[in-house]
Amino acid sequence: MELFGNLLNGFSVLGGTDSIVWWQPMLVILIGIIVGIFVGVMPGLSASTGLALIVPFTFGMDPLIAIILLAAVYTSASYGGTISAIAINTPGTPAAVAVAFDGYALTKKGQPGKALGSSLFANVIGGLTGSLVLIFFSVPLAKIALKFGPSAFFSLAIFGLTIVSSMESKNRLKAFVSTAIGLLLMTVGLDIINGFPRFTFGRAELFDGFTFIPALIGLFAIGEILLNIENMQIVKKIKQKFSSKMPKFSEIWSLKTLISKSSVIGAIVGTIPGAGATIAAFIAYGEAKRTSKKKNEFGKGSLEGITAPSAAAGASAGGALIPLLTLGIPGSAATAVMIGALALHNITPGPELFKPENSTLVYGLFASLFVGNALMLFIGFAGTRLWVKIIAAPKAVLFSIIMSIALVGSYAVKNSMFDVFVCLGFGVFGWLLRRNGFPTAPMVLAMILGKMAETNFRQALLAEGTWTVFFTDPLSLILIIMAVLSLVYPLYSERKKTKR
């Protein structure tokens, strides 16, 4: 009962206190959501960029108002990333890659409104679920997350890579080849243990490897433009009316179980430092396809393929706040920026934050997450027609805009022209892969998880001195078993169907 009392007090704080005027919390939530959506939509920007840009504006603010503003930016960026992914096949955030598979396919069918609406609903429900998990399970989940050592993180990465088996059912051989290419590309840069340069060809720009965002933009945005230019028939087919019509309530309601399951996956994965929204989205997408009765619709505009990663990405934000607030451990670049911002306001994350004297601050934040998700639903609805109008622009204009955004976004990551060339190079490479039937999604997944797998594999061996640690660590063993099942089950079920 004390928990509910504190939460009600948190909502009352949003209505104003002696130090806070009643309209201030609502205004900063609104501003935070708009900024978050903007940085999510723009390739090259991210939640961490948005937070870094907004921190100077929090100087002089009441600590609660400041933390509410930061949380609003952080939690809304994941939805912003799905807008550009669905509209122009340019994921604004890495997590939105999984949404682009089916979201852009539905846009090409002339139904971007349905894709955007489904993503919005799922993201909001995921956000609310993540908030509930944050409120009720903060301390126990944070303790579990702390038990993840290098061996468990390696096994988690391997489990994520096995999703390729369920993602690409048409040609698994080409999917695995694409995965292998991604893992090879990931090895470019300085060796993580001894600092020896690998495949850098003397270029200092490659010491950190290929910058991920320019590579991502090139593979999806530039690659898509080249495919459309090559095949003029596709350009003609795309010239159609685009509907801003949102999905029916019955369509969303039929996905309630999937959205709930994906939200839980996102919240749990979000609590693990270093995992985050991207891994959560891919795991949820793979799980959705594995358990779906309509597997053949994935990649062709499936609402399941849109809602599952959207819900997981939305919920992961709430999950990521658990180790941040309860233990003071940042699980990503964005939460690291948040810790620095909180320090400016003399707020020290950790167990001390949950003492009774800080309940107004903590539960005021929790209440703002619920209000923020409700506002994001309203803003998303209002903005859908605008996004659809952009999609319906003449293709010559649209392709020019996409190309400009892609190149500017690539440059903005590090203010480097080299990243622009990386974007263009990956664009041509992605075009060559796709025209020959090789999917690019497994390659992106491998580039995301490859670094995590290598780093933790070598750290585990250095710490324990034996490979058996991956099987003696209970968490690692469970994840390896899940990885094997994830890899074998789709093959077994297909073989069973063939025999029938």
Alpha carbons 309 and 263: distance in angstroms, whole number: 9
Residue 236 CA neighbour count, 13 Å, CB half: 3
pLDDT in tens, 103-161: 888 888 888 888 888 899 999 999 899 888 888 877 676 667 667 788 888 888 888 78
pLDDT value at 186 more than 80: yes
Alpha carbons 429 and 439: distance in angstroms, whole number: 12
- Alpha-carbon distances, residue 392 vs 108, 240, 354, 413, 498 (angstroms): 11, 8, 50, 29, 43
| Lowest-confidence region among 75-84, 308-317, 322-331 | 322-331
pLDDT value at 461 more than 50: yes
Alpha carbons 308 and 255: distance in angstroms, whole number: 9
The whole-number pLDDT of residue 307 equals: 92
pLDDT in tens, 228-252: 777 654 444 444 556 667 788 888 8
Residues 7 and 135 sit within 8 Å (Cβ to Cβ): yes
The whole-number pLDDT of residue 235 equals: 42
At position 383, the amino acid (one-letter code) is G
pLDDT value at 332 more than 70: no
Global confidence as pTM: 0.71
Residues 454 and 134 sit within 8 Å (Cβ to Cβ): no
The whole-number pLDDT of residue 49 equals: 67
Alpha carbons 97 and 441: distance in angstroms, whole number: 8
pLDDT in tens, 4-40: 776 777 777 777 665 666 778 888 899 989 888 887 8
pLDDT in tens, 380-428: 888 777 776 766 667 677 777 778 877 887 887 788 898 889 989 998 9
pLDDT value at 275 more than 80: no
Residues 412 and 48 sit within 8 Å (Cβ to Cβ): no
Residue spans per domain, the chain: 2-144+209-431
The whole-number pLDDT of residue 45 equals: 64
pLDDT value at 169 more than 70: no
Average pLDDT for the chain: 80
pLDDT value at 283 more than 70: yes
